[in-house]
């Protein structure tokens, strides 16, 4: 397990659900992969803890492994992260600040907190969040999905969040990103990293080599 002081990733492919998906993402040159486990909302990419653990064991040390979970109980989150053996915990559910803080206090793993950009009102909560996590992930959501929607959100709000954070924590942009729009998304929002799932999948929901490679190439952070 890597120490919390290491940098957050730049390019992440999430929803890895097979060894083939994992190899595709790694071959594309990602900095991180995400496995989804412990869900409360719809996700076709959700894995059992055993399946997630088997995949994480295949991740090279040069690539960060991220547990994406909807769980909202600190002990359950920590137990799942220990079982799967990831580097980073992405708290993607409807979880209280106190619980985020409890998770962060109990582990050396980095804690990435999802912020669902549903309207300008979310900006008011950002300052408080910074005390409880090591980074923010800005995502879209729908009534039945907390991620993996394939939909962008209002990037002007995400840009405002980046300005509020002002470099104090890494900010990762997600939600409807594709090889075609990730470049303009980076230029518009100014995030520290980007995260993609359905935007690099084929019609079966598997990660597509050409799309993954194109996404990584297009996600240019200027070196």
Number of structural domains (the chain) is 1
Rounded CA separation 200/198 (Å): 5
Least confident interval from 38-42, 122-126, 141-145, 176-180:
141-145
Residue 103 included in any domain = yes
Average pLDDT over residues 133-162: 88
Judge whether residue 160 has pLDDT over 90: yes
CB 113 within 8 A of CB 91: yes
Q: Please give the pLDDT value at position 223.
A: 55
In angstroms, the Cα distances linking 35 to 27, 106, 116 are 17, 21, 19
Residue 189 included in any domain = yes
Residue 5 included in any domain = no
Look at residues 202, 203, 200, 197 and name the one whose alpha carbon lies nearest to residue 215: 200
Element (H, E) at 13: strand 11-13
Record the tokens describing residue 113, joined without a space. Answer: 């907190």
Cα torsion angle, 153, 157, 158, 159, sign:
positive
Q: Please give the pLDDT value at position 199.
A: 96
Angle made by CA atoms 91, 8, 15, in degrees to the nearest 5: 50
Residue 2 included in any domain = no
Residue 16 included in any domain = yes
CB 160 within 8 A of CB 119: no
Residue 1 included in any domain = no
Which CATH number does the domain housing residue 149 bear? 3.20.20.70
Rounded CA separation 160/68 (Å): 25
CB 62 within 8 A of CB 2: no
Residue 3 included in any domain = no
Rounded to two decimals, the pTM is 0.93
Record the tokens describing residue 87, joined without a space. Answer: 């580097």
The range of the structural domain enclosing residue 109 comes to 11-217
Residue 222 included in any domain = no
Q: How many CB atoms lie within 10 A of CB 125?
A: 11
């Amino acid at each position: 397990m890597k120490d919390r002081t290491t940098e957050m990733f730049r390019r992440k492919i999430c929803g890895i659900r097979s060894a083939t998906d994992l190899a595709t993402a790694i071959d594309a040159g990602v900095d991180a992969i995400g496995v989804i486990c412990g869900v409360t909302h719809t996700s076709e990419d959700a894995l059992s803890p055993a399946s997630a653990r088997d995949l994480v064991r295949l991740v090279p040390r040069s690539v960060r492994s991220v547990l994406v979970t909807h769980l909202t109980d600190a002990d359950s989150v920590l137990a799942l992260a220990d079982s799967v053996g990831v580097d980073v915990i992405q708290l993607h559910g409807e979880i209280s600040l106190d619980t985020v803080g409890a998770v962060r206090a109990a582990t050396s793993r980095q804690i990435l907190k999802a912020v669902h950009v549903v309207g300008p009102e979310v900006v008011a909560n950002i300052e408080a969040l910074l005390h409880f996590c090591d980074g923010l992930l800005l995502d879209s959501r729908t009534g039945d999905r907390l991620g993996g929607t394939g939909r962008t959100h209002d990037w002007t709000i995400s840009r405002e969040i980046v300005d509020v954070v002002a470099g104090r924590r890494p900010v990762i942009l997600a939600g409807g990103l594709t090889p075609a729009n990730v470049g303009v998304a980076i230029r518009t929002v100014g995030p520290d990293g980007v995260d993609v799932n359905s935007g690099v999948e084929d019609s079966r929901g598997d990660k597509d080599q050409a799309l993954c490679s194109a996404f990584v190439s297009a996600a240019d952070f200027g070196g």
